[in-house]
Amino acid sequence: MLRPRAEPSLTETVALGLLQGPAELLPISSSAHVELLPWLLGWEHARLPAERRKEVEVALHAGTAVALLAVRGRSALRRPGLLGLAVLPAAVAGLALEGPIERRLGTPDAIAAGLVLGSVALVVADRAPEVRAAGEAGAADALWLGVAQAAALMPGVSRSGAVRSMARVRGFTRVGAAELSADVAMPVLIGATALKGVRLAQRDAPVGALVAGTAAAALSTVAALRLDVGARVPAAGWAAYRTLLAATVLAVGQNRRR
């Protein structure tokens, strides 16, 4: 039986950082990928204690938050009311439910279920007409986007996917939905990173690997933003990928339980 690893691997943490950027911006769930990829491939990261994996997750989210602030901060902060309203439901739900959700829904099977549920939402929402641009978002839109971000606390659902789905339901174009998803992510990621960072500050964290992972996540996020990855891809494409990933997780899990 393999012993749990005590410290994160520098190479694996950087690899996860490079994955974090596009996975956060695309409707595929960054948390699912960061958790599932090491599990599927048998990486040492999957054998880390839960608190060490959480440290890596916080570092990667910090990198994405810094990149979003650097690239989209100026335009997003012109509408502070939108950002404030969009973060409120997620903040309340996160403070109240984060612990129970992580304890009960953090298994590969539960993440696979979240991937499938999010896929259904993406496909159904993408049938709405594309009649609004991101700049037309108002207070009611912001609150609904905040509700979507709160729903994404369920692992596998995807914050970006939930926000895009809600934006599409409310008539925003695919491009507009992607822009709104990136903008409202910023305060949520900054807030979550700060909160979790404070909780982890008293621990003897492996600084080198975490800093490298943060830098990799920031670079991959900037690259994904610059390349405008996936803004025009139909939801069915992302749903198919998510469903395939969920099926793979369930099949691997079933095989390992034999």
pLDDT at 4: 57
Residue 237 clears pLDDT 60, i.e. is over it: yes
Provide, rounded to the nearest whole percent, the portion of the chain with pLDDT above 70. Answer: 91
pLDDT at 200 over 80: no
pLDDT at res. 29 = 92
| Mean confidence (pLDDT) of the chain | 88
Q: Please identify which residue in the block is written with the tokens 């996860």.
A: 16
Residue 113 has pLDDT above 60, yes or no: yes
> Could you read off the pLDDT of 68-83 as tens digits, one per residue?
988 888 777 777 778 8
Q: Are 193 and 58 in contact (CB under 8 A)?
A: yes
- Spell out the domain ranges in the chain: 10-257
Phi and psi at residue 158, to the nearest 5°? 90, 120
pLDDT at site 9: 92
Confidence at residue 1, expressed as pLDDT on a 0 to 100 scale: 43
Higher pLDDT among residues 202 and 162, named by residue: 162
Angstrom distance (rounded) from CA 253 to CA 257: 6
pTM of the model: 0.87
**Mean pLDDT highest for which of 98-107, 203-212, 216-225?**
216-225
pLDDT score recorded for residue 19? 96
Kindly report the CA angle at 180 between 97 and 183, in degrees rounded to 5? 75
Tokens describing residue 194: 């700060």
3-state secondary structure at position 195: helix
User: Which of 108, 90, 84, 98 has the alpha carbon at shortest distance from 156?
Assistant: 108
Q: Strand, helix or coil at 172?
A: strand
